Amino acid sequence: MKHFSFLLLVLAAGLLLMGQSAEARKRPVRLMTYNVGAFGKELEDSAPMIARMIVELGAETVALNELDSCNRRHNINQVQHLADALNGLSTTGKRKGKWQGRFGRAMAYVGGAYGCGVVTKARIVDGFFIPLPISDGDEPRVCVVVETRHYVFASCHLDYKGDESRSEQARVLTEALQARYGKSRKPVFLAGDFNDEPGSAVIRQMSRDWTLLSPLEYTSSAKNPEACIDYIWVLHNGAKAAVLDSAVPTIFATGDVTLASDHLPVYVDVVF
């Protein structure tokens, strides 16, 4: 009898933990994308300012475009540099020191590398890179993918020269993510600078396999916004994700968007 009662207690505890885990996943998560311009468009190093802005917004995971890594222009890994700055600001609670960075090398650049990245305070359980096709003479591009316990998040920066290159890059990254996560129960988010505006052929192409979550507001340039080219999407893989809020913020207590980069940040609040 005591053994039976103990088993019931263990089962009840397990169900409680499962319920708590499901409830935790229903809490809103703020996702963000930001083309940071190698932290050097207006300031020598805007990473500390951008770190403060990320903390002010309360983002959990951020896609980053235009990053240097250990080259002659910036002799540091800029993703890790930002993660370190974020950890220096996160001084309370369980999140202290938990920001992680992932850099994806798109191409060699002045003795080092240049590409995209992700910073997150979610627990990363897997990650990989998707090399994107390019036309002759175009800059190499990459998609950086991190898988957390509850969702997948990818960062990309599509070609700026031609529709055909962007279309092919969108096709390749979509097929790669569908192949890996098409039957996953986790939502798959894709964020970054697509170098194309709403209604364009590439954005219409994306809409066949993805749902746009971010607002259709101008994101470039930061000083004179006149183009919407930065987006956050969720893949059509059957996983549910609802948007609670989204914005292109322009006013911060901790930073100046016209100095931080030549793009504006974009965020969405999602629940799943």
Residue spans of the domains in the chain: they are 30-262
Cα separation of 150 and 147, whole Å? 8
> Between 3 and 220, where is the model more confident?
220
Residue given tokens 């098409």 in the structure block: 182
Q: What would the two tokens of residue 215 be?
A: 């607002």
- pLDDT-based confidence at 27, cuts 50/70/90? confident
Considering the chain, what is the average pLDDT of its residues?
A: 89
CA distances in angstroms from 205 to 22, 54, 118, 202, 238, listed in the order given? 33, 30, 24, 5, 19
C-alpha R_g of the chain: 20
Superfamily (CATH H level) for 30-262:
Endonuclease/exonuclease/phosphatase (3.60.10.10)
Cα separation of 67 and 113, whole Å? 8
* CB 156, CB 133: distance < 8 Å: no
pLDDT of 242 higher than 60? yes
pLDDT of 232 higher than 70? yes
CA distances in angstroms from 177 to 7, 68, 90, 180, 182, listed in the order given? 41, 25, 32, 5, 7
Residue 89 has a pLDDT of 93
CA distances in angstroms from 56 to 52, 96, 166, listed in the order given? 6, 15, 33
Q: Residue 188 is inside which H or E element, if any?
A: strand 188-193
Residue 95 has a pLDDT of 47
Q: Global pTM?
A: 0.89
Mean pLDDT over residues 137-144, rounded?
Answer: 90
Mean pLDDT over residues 144-157, rounded?
Answer: 98
Residue 157 has a pLDDT of 98
Cα separation of 139 and 158, whole Å? 10
Residue 20 has a pLDDT of 41
pLDDT of 96 higher than 80? no
